[in-house]
Chain A
């Protein structure tokens, strides 16, 4: 009488290994898709110097898993072909709402000219100011974009709550209003 296995040793173990390998590749790809890095593009208004937003960018990167790319459309242009521009999940439009800077209408116009690029994508609006805030600019921005994040660029460390709200908002999938 023989208690014989359906396969030779390597066959039965090999079957389990084949099953586990196939499942591993399948599940790994599905998890990879779920947690892949999302890029957030920060578009700067012409009057905002790139160095002014370095601290903000660092704080956002430090507190989130997004990768941030900052460009000034009017100076850098927007190159749709470069790999950096692919897989962008959200866009941040950055305005300067300090007093005595160029009118907000001009800044809005800059972004309207490249509306086709960011329209329909998830976007957030940040209004930064250095010393004194111009309430009129804020009012106009809110009128057009709805929700905006107002940050003092010199006191970013004290605005962690707003930064966190912004990151949560970048992670959410809720539809965002676009310019009409």
Chain B
């Protein structure tokens, strides 16, 4: 397949990729924190604070839990909303956007890495797994997108 590629096509597709990624990752971040918040609430943790933008501590959810187990349970909240959210994208079978599903999971690992700070080795491993997942699936997503919109017959 041979044809001319215009700068406008580059611009539109680039903006689309940026927009989709920003929306998906922002939503994942919100759902991730919301998961901590919900399970914390369920476990009877108190003084729960959900902070999205803090110039010093960044994005976080703060709570005081009655038992240590409650805290671990609340930590698992990182996945309770994010996994169903990522599964939704799998249903976009014939669209390149279905690969966003694994990008969401990768991003969730990336932002969850700090939640595992009590395990010193797991923390960087989870972070790296997240970044690798994101890179791998971004390549596939962008390749599919470009092939769909640029490599088409006349």
Contacts and interface: CB of A to CB of B under 8 A. Distances in A.
* Physical interaction between A and B: yes
Interface of A: 1-9, 11-13, 15-17, 19-21, 23-25, 27-28, 31-32, 34-38, 65-66, 171
Interface residues of B, number: 55
B59 A8 contact: yes
B36 to A, nearest CB: 5
B62 A16 contact: no
Contacts of A37: 2-4
Contacts of A28: 10, 13-14, 142, 146
Instruction: Identify the 5 closest CB pairs spanning chains A and B, nearest first.
Output: A8-B58, A4-B60, A65-B2, A5-B59, A3-B61
Interface string B33-65: 100100000000100000011110111111111
Interface string B50-84: 00111101111111110000010011001000000
B70 to A, nearest CB: 9
B58 A7 contact: yes
A171 B25 CA distance: 42
A23 B60 contact: no
Nearest to A66: B2
B122 interface: no
Given A37-B3, A65-B154, 5 more contacts: A1-B65, A15-B110, A16-B21, A19-B138, A31-B150
A28 B29 CA distance: 28
